[in-house]
Structure 1
Amino acid sequence: MEAFFRDGMRFTAVDEGAADVGTIVLLHGFPQRSQSWTDTSRHLVAAGYRVIAADQRGYTPQARPRSRRAYRLNELVADVVALLDTAGVDRAHLVGHDWGGGVAWMFAAARPDRLHSLTVVSAPHPRAVVRAMLTSRQLVQAWHVGFFQLPWLPEAAIRWRGGRIAVALLKRSGLSEQMAREYTDRLLGDPGCLAAALRWYRAMPLDMAAGLKTGAITVPTTYVWSTDDIAIGRRAAELTSRWVTGRFDFKVLEGVSHWIPEQAPETLAALILDRARSVR
């Protein structure tokens, strides 16, 4: 499967391996694309899994609606349903990083019938984030979320001098120079991509009530957090277990930044496989 369709939109995807033991679906975050999973996916395919890494809405030209309402969580969840249906997969092991993790939490709450297991990387459960904002420095750490709500200014800042500020901030958060430049160039070089990627953040106020009502997660779940993540504090990470009633593992990667799929792909793949194998 090279693509899947929903509501007239075409989403690209990387589909590798044979489903000898199951299917793993990988959801990327901001400002990544499906290629951020390349190194992790290699280990999963070698273990006998079919691995599908999708380019989510906004990150591919033929699935780039202009309304921020089109980026609400219910729409993002429906995209994953369309992916599974097109791939002919009844139930999968779902993995999400960053914004992909936010979609994964909501998908697991809304459609547990389509999942064998859940692995979320970096992004805590939405209700854990809200609680942490009231009891820790989480609100300060997530300053960029508020900044991205502003009109035109975030786009101007990211575009300034060919993305110089964006590259510097991504490097400060833990990405290599090469990856920071590659992600920035993709955002700026693909017309409409930057604005679409920011619509994920600008739809957040529309989803506040839905996030606060996110139900308990009943499927077997692993949550992976890293100590050098400058955007997600320990408080939000540790609170996540309160909203998981299924089997739950909390894994902490010492000395790893927010960019776990890029920085620790082998370790992450091992954790994903441990979770997937636990529900055979």
Structure 2
Amino acid sequence: MAFEIEHYYVRTNGITLHVVQCGPLEGPLVILLHGFPEFWYSWRKQIPALAEAGYRVWVPDQRGYNLSEKPTGVSNYRIDKLGADIIGLLDAAGQAKAVVIGHDWGAAVAWWLAGRYPARVAQAAILNVPHPAVLSRALRKAPRQLLKSWYIYFFQLPWLPEKLFRRKEYLFGRASLRGTSRPDTFSSYDLQQYVKAWAQPGALTGMINWYRAAFRKTGRTGKVGRITVPVRLLWGQRDAFLEPVLGCLSLTMCEKGELTYFKDATHWLHQEEPRAVNKLLLEFLQTQGQPYTQRNLR
């Protein structure tokens, strides 16, 4: 059965988020969280598969992105506030628990929720982002990862990253997607949708403030320990931004977890390998997690 994409505005944690919804109203809740520089559209190849399998799918534009609210000030983009936005969505949906699936920055939020709100997360699926403690160690001690993360430090500058991103009809953003993905992953139509999202008033600063807030003093708000909820890690080995070894290191932080590497996929694996990704996600949703293992490379 095919389900239509529905658009709503949901009040949560003191702001309003644009949330795409799909699937049967009575279905178990699955929340998909996008990363940088994307928006809900990045999950376009997963939403129908999950909905048709009987899940109620909520896909927010996270704060600062596309049609969602964009509060000013870097402190409004700390990880605890980003996570509280999603807990508010669970409350708005009237659900005690949800499956949370995240990619890139959305995966960082998923890790944080799984670690800090395990009673609210039924299962967590993570695409191409390591456990926060693993990433923190890599940025301090792994020269190869530090080199790949150069842009994080550039994004700490005021106004200049936004100016660069906006030049020549958002060439930086378009090039970052096409230049780090397999050919034909992002069509011209897809990039037009991204440009529209980036052009929303305040969007570029809101998006980049996620990176700025990550480097500001946050006390223990960003600390995530061992994960007790079931975790499914999917990782494209040709990731231009993150070293593949971070995936198996992250697995050791999970009591119940499984990792699958995609040998020929990049950071954007869910858009390059949607059929395989969807199959693995649906298999995971039908289980409660196993003691951690690493599958053979795909």
Q: TM-score scaled to structure 1, two decimals?
A: 0.92
Higher helix fraction (1 or 2)? 1
Q: 1:225 corresponds to which residue? A: 235
Pick the aligned partner of 2:216 from 179, 203, 206. Answer: 206
Pick the aligned partner of 2:155 from 135, 138, 148. Answer: 148
Provide the rounded CA distance (Å) in 2 between the counterparts of 1:102 and 1:166: 21
Give unmatched runs, 5+ long, in structure 1.
none
Q: 2:257 corresponds to which residue? A: 248
Provide the rounded CA distance (Å) in 2 between the counterparts of 1:8 and 1:278: 35
- State the AA in 2 paired with 1:30: F
- Listed one character per residue, the Cα deviations across residues 142-174 of structure 1 (whole Å, up to 9, x for unaligned) are 111111111121111111222223322321111
Provide the rounded CA distance (Å) in 2 between the counterparts of 1:48 and 1:62: 27
Mark the CA change 1:207 to 1:107 in structure 2 (over 3 Å): closer, same or farther. Answer: farther
Matches within 5 A, 1:62-101: 63-101=69-107
Provide the rounded CA distance (Å) in 2 between the counterparts of 1:115 and 1:132: 27
1:169 aligns with 2:176: yes
- 8 A Cα contact 2:10 2:16, kept in partner: yes
Provide the rounded CA distance (Å) in 2 between the counterparts of 1:193 and 1:239: 33
**1:201 match: secondary structure:** helix
Provide the rounded CA distance (Å) in 1 between the counterparts of 2:137 and 2:121: 27
1:197 aligns with 2:207: yes
- 8 A Cα contact 2:125 2:233, kept in partner: yes
Greater displacement, 129-138 / 205-214: 205-214
- Listed one character per residue, the Cα deviations across residues 83-126 of structure 1 (whole Å, up to 9, x for unaligned) are 00101111111100100000000011111101111101111111
**Percentage of matched positions with identical amino acids:** 31
Pick the aligned partner of 2:274 from 242, 261, 265. Answer: 265
Mark the CA change 1:101 to 1:47 in structure 2 (over 3 Å): closer, same or farther. Answer: same
Provide the rounded CA distance (Å) in 2 between the counterparts of 1:24 and 1:188: 26
Structure ranking higher on relative contact order (CA contacts 8 Å, 6+ apart): 1
- State the AA in 2 paired with 1:192: G
1:238 aligns with 2:248: yes
1:9 aligns with 2:20: no
Q: After the TM superposition, which parts of structure 1 deviate over 4 Å for at least 4 consecutive aligned residues?
A: none
1:116 aligns with 2:126: no
- 8 A Cα contact 1:109 1:214, kept in partner: yes
- State the AA in 2 paired with 1:50: R
Mark the CA change 1:54 to 1:187 in structure 2 (over 3 Å): closer, same or farther. Answer: closer
Q: 2:64 corresponds to which residue? A: 58
- State the AA in 2 paired with 1:144: Y
Provide the rounded CA distance (Å) in 2 between the counterparts of 1:92 and 1:181: 31
Greater displacement, 87-96 / 257-266: 257-266
Q: 1:186 corresponds to which residue? A: 196
Greater displacement, 64-73 / 152-161: 152-161
- 8 A Cα contact 2:233 2:259, kept in partner: yes
Greater displacement, 230-239 / 174-183: 174-183
1:139 aligns with 2:146: yes
- State the AA in 1 paired with 2:11: F
- State the AA in 2 paired with 1:191: P
Give unmatched runs, 5+ long, in structure 2.
1-6, 290-298
Mark the CA change 1:267 to 1:208 in structure 2 (over 3 Å): closer, same or farther. Answer: farther
**1:243 match: secondary structure:** coil
Provide the rounded CA distance (Å) in 1 between the counterparts of 2:189 and 2:268: 10
